[in-house]
Chains A and B, each alone.
Chain A
Amino acid sequence: MTATATLNAVEALRRRYGADIAGQQTADGVPTCWCPRARIHEMLAYLKDGIDAPYKMLYDLTAIDERMRLKHGAVQSDFTVVYHLFSFERNAYIRIKTALQADALSVDTITDLWPAANWYEREVWDMFGIRFSGHPHLERILMPRSWVGHPLRKEHPARATEMGPFQLSPQKEEAEQELLRFRPEEWGMQRGSEDTDFIFLNIGPQHPGTHGVLRIVLQLDGEEIVDCVPEIGFHHRGAEKMGERQSWHTYIPYTDRVDYLGGVMNNLAYLTAVEKLAGITVPPRGQVIRVMLSELFRIISHLVWYGTFAQDVGQMSPVFYTFNDRERAFAMIEAICGARMHPNWFRIGGVAADLPRGWDGMFRDFIRYFPPRLAEYDREVLRNRIFQARTKGIGTITKDLAIEWGMTGSGLRACGFEWDFRKKQPYSGYEQFEFDIPTATHGDCYDRAVVRVEEMRQSLRIIEQCVNHMPDGPYKSDHPLATPPVKDRTMHDIETLITHFLSVSWGPVMPAGEALGAIEATKGNNGYYLVSDGSTVSYRTRIRTPSFPHMQMLPLLCRGRMVPDLLAVLGAMDFVLADIDR
């Protein structure tokens, strides 16, 4: 059903806007088409509101610098702007591309269609220097304002050693600080109303409540938040640019550090895309090991969130209890992977090694140990009256608005929308597991907490099924592109030896093409959009992270509230700065 409906989407576009809309075959089967630059706004508007079963969510918006490509497609383009939309009715993505030539790098903004496009367009401007005409505030977002050049352009250096030594003279320091000064007028803000002067308060970049280097500028009337501007980019490390230098295999450890609480879950998102490009099917044992470790990391990530959220609303103790439990989970991760937070354990085609002897004992202990702890936290946190008073009715959002802003994960489910990509678009064998999708009804901070707590129970259910039904067989595919390649025959025949040598020294060569691998990560939908030019490195690595659109919603969630509510909203959002800035 999905296939016919999505075919119709491109067909519907052709029927309406003429047959010159070029289609494109992709490795992930997401319907892809090229639309003329002048009509992109009109066509996206049609996809959002005109078509049957519309694409209500702007899933991602990014660009590709195509000037260095060896294998050009049918459409000649210097820079390509790529829109990913998602339709919940169709349960399908659609990819719309528009070609820009180097002498006219500009396209109409779609911020009037999707408010969520605001930050995405700023990011594309920042990274590629593509202008979006009509954008309300086209300013750099991840890089400092003083930055010269657009980092994701191919001519921009990728390593510090290519740029000369960094020096910070007192004058430069002063200038940089001056650039960071907040000027309300730039954001269309008033400095006061008839009867009050507003305070502008910097929360961050160094602040105990922001969970990292995040800056939020509050416009305050007393303690009431009139408006706020989240400023991101302090944690930006160029993860996407690094993807263009690292081989397909050696990029895996970098993914660990994107959502740094999600560990191997990041590997999974990346490898889902790589394996689509390569056409690799992971053997059942590999799949189940992946699911088991990913779900354990979901629990680990949620435990950090649980404790810190309680701390954000002033409760001191739970964070120690949840970190204790997290330590137990880390002990299991360490026993299997040898590392804790960033195990870098998944490989193209499977996992790095088989499970150690006696692994199931640890898991069974944990499965017995953990539910009573969760029940205790329920009594201590969720059922606490002060906690409820602090979180109920705060940061409320409706389902439609949440979709409009690109919200995924627990936040969306807290609005009463039963949507989990593990169930709706199963990957890595999730269709074989029994688990429920927890939902809530009000879409406020409290409901987000309830949903996440229940998710931990469901994850534990999945882990239990993994432990009880771990299949036998290989833990890694014997596909020639799987890494590191299987070695047991290298000493017997020269062909295998050569393949092995090339694959280890250069890294595997992925067939040209592109693929989106998107999973239900700890914080929402995490997707890797990879473009291969038929080389040992990725041509473009795009990381769509859930925290980015979530953080963009912050003003929406806390306008008219008090300063303490801001902290409750931030805590309930469950973001990670590296997941926002990459």
Chain B
Amino acid sequence: MTSPYPIVAIIGILVVALTLAAGLIWVERRLLALWQDRYGPNRVGPFGLLQVLADMIKIFFKEDWIPPFADKVVFIVAPAVIVVTVLMSFAVLPIAPGIIISDLNVGLLFVLGMSSLGVYSVVLAGWSSDNKYALLGGLRAAAQMMSYEVFMGLALMGVVLLAGSFNLTEIVAAQRHVWFVVPQFLGFILFLIAGVAETRRLPFDLPEAESELIAGFHSEYSGMKFGMFFVGEYLGVILISCLITILFFGGWLGPVLPPVVWFLIKMMFFICFFILLRAALPRPRFDQLMSWGWKVMLPLALANLLVTGAVALAWRS
């Protein structure tokens, strides 16, 4: 089911994903403003839409400065890692029938693997900056990822059991009758939480908690390298929203409207949810987050897997 014109699909998805990520900056700022009784960027262009463009011009032309005390090579590689790993994940996402770059038969594992690699970006950035705040941010990121990766994967195993495949296209196809959010509601909640943690957004933004660590792991970054972290974060949000759509909400499936539109609608819904989450919640403490992950989320994910497995087994036999 791989796209007949792979180059077109690659360029198409790349362009759409990056534009969307940039556009999200505007969406987030306007939505937050709406919820916080203020205007947000509304001066540059219609509805402030060109604000993103202005920001991009600024960030491209900013001096590309590397602090003299930083570990140069790692410092430069770190921001690239996050963008690359997230973009790689997009390769296996089935947007609609025929719109997919590589219909991998272990697509889900590939995505999980890539998101684990993404953590290196944050940890390496924190370490190479040779700044105490960045170091603390990097340490927090490492600990947070370690505890949330575990049940993120486990939470998805229920879906895999039901669909009987790691292939994302087949997972969508298996939801023709009922979306997996119904039989796998607990799995959905667990994955949602892990997904927020994965993208390091409030309430899981501990690695860059601005009131404590200033900017955490990217304190020393500026210009386009900072921009890469920024875009990486938004790409992450899009990725997790796409995954939720594909794994639990039937991907492109839906009546009347074309599949792509359905996919985008569902995806945007979760993106907005992510932004609303940021507007609403305070930030838990680092140790609270960890103990919550290990003591509550992990056992729940295991229990979910066990029950789903038992039911699936009973169903088939």
Beta-carbon contacts under 8 Å, B69-90 to A: none
Judged by a CB distance under 8 angstroms, whether B270 is at the interface is no
Cα distance, A384 to B282, chains bound together (Å)? 8
Judged by a CB distance under 8 angstroms, whether B38 is at the interface is yes
Asked whether, in the complex, the Cβ of A316 is within 8 Å of the Cβ of B209, the reply is no
Asked whether, in the complex, the Cβ of B38 is within 8 Å of the Cβ of A320, the reply is yes
Judged by a CB distance under 8 angstroms, whether B55 is at the interface is no
The verdict on A317 contacting B286 (CB below 8 Å), with A312-B211, A386-B203, A564-B209 known, is: no
The verdict on A208 contacting B282 (CB below 8 Å), with A320-B36, A320-B38, A389-B288 known, is: no
A488 CB, min distance to chain B CBs, angstroms: 47
State which size class the interface on B falls in.
20 to 34
Judged by a CB distance under 8 angstroms, whether B278 is at the interface is yes
Interface residues as binary, B279-317 with A (CB distance below 8 Å gives 1, 0 otherwise): 111111111100000000000000000000000000000
- Most chain A CB within a 10 A radius of its CB, from B209, B280, B282: B282
Asked whether, in the complex, the Cβ of A565 is within 8 Å of the Cβ of B285, the reply is yes
- Residues of the A chain whose Cβ atoms lie less than 8 Å from the Cβ of B287: 562
B19 CB, min distance to chain A CBs, angstroms: 26
Asked whether, in the complex, the Cβ of A317 is within 8 Å of the Cβ of B284, the reply is no
Asked whether, in the complex, the Cβ of A321 is within 8 Å of the Cβ of B283, the reply is no
Contact of A562 among B139, B211, B286 (CB under 8 A): B286
- Residues of the B chain whose Cβ atoms lie less than 8 Å from the Cβ of A207: 214
A394 CB, min distance to chain B CBs, angstroms: 9
A415 CB, min distance to chain B CBs, angstroms: 23
Nearest residue in B to A222 (C-beta to C-beta)?
B139
The verdict on A564 contacting B212 (CB below 8 Å), with A199-B132, A320-B37 known, is: yes
Beta-carbon contacts under 8 Å, A188-228 to B: 199, 201, 207-209, 223
- Residues of the B chain whose Cβ atoms lie less than 8 Å from the Cβ of A320: 36-38
Cα distance, A320 to B35, chains bound together (Å)? 10
Cα distance, A310 to B280, chains bound together (Å)? 11
Nearest residue in B to A315 (C-beta to C-beta)?
B282
Asked whether, in the complex, the Cβ of B36 is within 8 Å of the Cβ of A315, the reply is no
B71 CB, min distance to chain A CBs, angstroms: 18
The verdict on A313 contacting B283 (CB below 8 Å), with A201-B132, A563-B136 known, is: yes
Beta-carbon contacts under 8 Å, A311-337 to B: 311-317, 320-321, 324
Cα distance, A321 to B283, chains bound together (Å)? 18
- Residues of the B chain whose Cβ atoms lie less than 8 Å from the Cβ of A387: 282
Asked whether, in the complex, the Cβ of A316 is within 8 Å of the Cβ of B38, the reply is no
Contact of A209 among B139, B211, B282 (CB under 8 A): B211
- Residues of the B chain whose Cβ atoms lie less than 8 Å from the Cβ of A565: 285
A223 CB, min distance to chain B CBs, angstroms: 6
Contact of B281 among A199, A312, A386 (CB under 8 A): A386
The verdict on A567 contacting B285 (CB below 8 Å), with A317-B280, A386-B203 known, is: no
B271 CB, min distance to chain A CBs, angstroms: 17
Asked whether, in the complex, the Cβ of A223 is within 8 Å of the Cβ of B283, the reply is no
Asked whether, in the complex, the Cβ of B36 is within 8 Å of the Cβ of A321, the reply is yes
Asked whether, in the complex, the Cβ of B279 is within 8 Å of the Cβ of A317, the reply is yes
The verdict on A313 contacting B282 (CB below 8 Å), with A201-B132, A207-B214, A208-B214 known, is: yes
The verdict on A314 contacting B283 (CB below 8 Å), with A563-B212, A564-B212, A567-B212 known, is: yes
B233 CB, min distance to chain A CBs, angstroms: 16
Judged by a CB distance under 8 angstroms, whether B210 is at the interface is yes
Beta-carbon contacts under 8 Å, B201-220 to A: 202-203, 205, 209-214
Nearest residue in B to A312 (C-beta to C-beta)?
B211
Nearest residue in A to B278 (C-beta to C-beta)?
A316
- Residues of the A chain whose Cβ atoms lie less than 8 Å from the Cβ of B203: 314, 386
Cα distance, A314 to B285, chains bound together (Å)? 10
Cα distance, A562 to B284, chains bound together (Å)? 12
Nearest residue in B to A563 (C-beta to C-beta)?
B212
Cα distance, A576 to B185, chains bound together (Å)? 48
Judged by a CB distance under 8 angstroms, whether A90 is at the interface is no
Cα distance, A201 to B139, chains bound together (Å)? 15
Cα distance, A208 to B35, chains bound together (Å)? 23
- Residues of the A chain whose Cβ atoms lie less than 8 Å from the Cβ of B35: 317
B293 CB, min distance to chain A CBs, angstroms: 14
B111 CB, min distance to chain A CBs, angstroms: 28
- Residues of the A chain whose Cβ atoms lie less than 8 Å from the Cβ of B133: 201
Beta-carbon contacts under 8 Å, B99-132 to A: 132
Asked whether, in the complex, the Cβ of A208 is within 8 Å of the Cβ of B211, the reply is yes
Cα distance, A199 to B131, chains bound together (Å)? 11
Nearest residue in B to A201 (C-beta to C-beta)?
B132
The verdict on A314 contacting B214 (CB below 8 Å), with A386-B283, A389-B285 known, is: no
A305 CB, min distance to chain B CBs, angstroms: 14
A253 CB, min distance to chain B CBs, angstroms: 31
Cα distance, A567 to B284, chains bound together (Å)? 12
Cα distance, A317 to B275, chains bound together (Å)? 12
Cα distance, A389 to B292, chains bound together (Å)? 12
The verdict on A390 contacting B284 (CB below 8 Å), with A316-B202, A321-B37 known, is: yes
Nearest residue in B to A561 (C-beta to C-beta)?
B285
A440 CB, min distance to chain B CBs, angstroms: 20
Contact of A324 among B37, B202, B278 (CB under 8 A): B37
Interface residues as binary, A89-107 with B (CB distance below 8 Å gives 1, 0 otherwise): 0000000000000000000
Asked whether, in the complex, the Cβ of B282 is within 8 Å of the Cβ of A390, the reply is yes
Q: Could you list some 10 contacts between A and B, CB below 8 A?
A: A311-B211, A314-B209, A314-B282, A314-B284, A315-B282, A316-B36, A321-B37, A390-B288, A562-B285, A564-B286
Interface residues, chain A, CB within 8 Å of chain B? 199, 201, 207-209, 223, 310-317, 320-321, 324, 380-381, 384, 386-387, 389-390, 562-567
Q: Assuming A201-B132, A320-B38, A386-B283, what are 5 further A-B pairs, CB within 8 angstroms?
A: A207-B214, A316-B32, A317-B36, A317-B280, A386-B284
- Across the A-B interface, the 8 shortest Cβ-Cβ residue pairs: A314-B283, A315-B282, A320-B36, A209-B211, A314-B282, A313-B282, A386-B282, A564-B285
